[in-house]
Structure 1
Amino acid sequence: MITNEEEARAFCAARCDADGMARIERFAGMLAEENARQNLVSAASLETVWQRHMADSLQLLDYAGDGVGPWLDLGSGPGLPGLVLALARPNMPIGLVESRRKRFEWLEQVKGEFGLSNCTVHGKRLEHVDSCETGVITARAFAPLDKLLRLSARFSTRSTIWLLPKGRSAAQELSEQPHATRQMFHVEQSQTDAEAAILVGKGKPAP
């Protein structure tokens, strides 16, 4: 379990090269500046930005197996986890879906600043994004699980990996789902928050 910023930095460094760490360091500063203009994350969380946001995002790589892409991040907001993953792995294709105009513009700005050719930002609702087969689907605070699966099933295949940070409600939310969904997912403890968990799944949701 990561308990401080020093551990969080080491955790991140083990999951990207030196250039990746430099990019994420720069992104952390940009995130703080933009947060003064629009409320992207809680101000208090910026005091532990490496633990709360950077390591929290990069821990998803540990559950992706061979899922090198393409990735699809739903409701990317400030770029968590999708933009952090794109910064750490610039050769890994990833799409970010964000319908809110100001946040979409922020994601496009960061993409341009770093020249992230691996990253595509979709400034529209998920319902209007063209269907494509996706290797890994991520979503942090996007929607309740049943709605999330209903909206995004068309992007999945039988080999798609689902990585869904759900906070402390993960086990409870999964227990309330139909049997097929409960069989598809399991709960993993977050490595950055003792009270949080991640729903990890594989496959295509039942209709």
Structure 2
Amino acid sequence: MILRDEEQARAYVADFVDAAGMERLDRLEALLREENERQNLIAAATLQTVWLRHVADSAQLLSYVPRETEDPGAWLDLGTGAGFPGLVIAAMRPHWDVRLIESRRKRTDWLERARIDLGLGRCQVVASRLEMVATVEAGVISARAFAPMPKLIDLSARFSTNRTLWLLPKGRSAAQDLASLPESTRRLFHVEQSCTDTEAGIIVGRLDLAGHRGPKQTPGSKRG
């Protein structure tokens, strides 16, 4: 099913959370609108469709995680920016270890304020370039418009084990981006249809890249 409007988007998201979760997401929307007047977190044209373009678009990643999952392990959201998808996931699953990795100071300041306001004690804002983040075993790796697939794999492989689920919303470039990978890596991923855009896709994979030789990492500081 492709969601068409804000009403459908809200109903879709509500199927994943309880009333308290919807309240947190409503609060997140309010905070986002307020902050967007100070810095350009999202395009002004999408302010009328926040639930469709941003909240539901992020929430749909939960459909790839079994509902009975109590703890998927560390969820690393790379290049979180305005908080999509990572902050939405944290608001919907406040008991999960969600780490929002973002290097831009204005963005990390906003993410930290939002995290505190929403009472997300297990969520962490990691104010650092990904290359400087200490290696951890990720349960989930997500990234929305963070980098082309070859670079994303190169930077992120050290966080991945054979249990790591990769969820990469790639919009309308999903198939093209996946095709840019070597065949040996490409075959470990596939493209799923996004529920928010008939032409958009999500690259999904579960693979062990721990032995991949990516950039040398330096332990970085975590904030949050």
Deviation, 1:195, is 1.5
The match for 1:35 is 36
The match for 1:203 is 207
3-state secondary structure, aligned to 1:135: strand
Q: Is structure 2 residue 176 aligned with structure 1 residue 175?
A: no
The match for 2:219 is none
Percent identity reads 56
Give the aligned CA root-mean-square deviation in angstroms: 1.1
Letter in 1 for 2:23: A
Structure 1, unaligned runs of 5 or more: none
3-state secondary structure, aligned to 2:51: helix
The match for 2:132 is 128
Conservation of the 8 A alpha-carbon contact between 2:27 and 2:118? no
Letter in 2 for 1:111: R
Equivalent-residue separation in structure 2 for 1:140 and 1:69 (angstroms)? 20
- Which of 79, 83, 99 is 1:79 aligned to? 83
The match for 2:45 is 44
TM-score (norm 1): 0.97
Deviation, 1:68, is 2.2
TM-score (norm 2): 0.90
Equivalent-residue separation in structure 2 for 1:176 and 1:74 (angstroms)? 20
The match for 1:118 is 122
Matches within 5 A, 1:63-102: 63-65=64-66, 66=69, 68-102=72-106
The match for 2:221 is none
Conservation of the 8 A alpha-carbon contact between 1:138 and 1:162? yes
Letter in 1 for 2:120: L
3-state secondary structure, aligned to 2:170: strand
Larger helix proportion of the pair? 1
The match for 1:55 is 56
Q: Is structure 2 residue 36 aligned with structure 1 residue 20?
A: no
Equivalent-residue separation in structure 2 for 1:177 and 1:149 (angstroms)? 9
Number of residue equivalences: 207
Letter in 2 for 1:9: R
Equivalent-residue separation in structure 2 for 1:18 and 1:68 (angstroms)? 22
Deviation, 1:96, is 0.5
Equivalent-residue separation in structure 2 for 1:196 and 1:186 (angstroms)? 13
Structure 2, unaligned runs of 5 or more: 213-224
Letter in 2 for 1:165: P
| Aligned structure 1 segments of 4 or more residues deviating by more than 4 angstroms | none
Letter in 2 for 1:96: L
Q: Is structure 2 residue 153 aligned with structure 1 residue 149?
A: yes
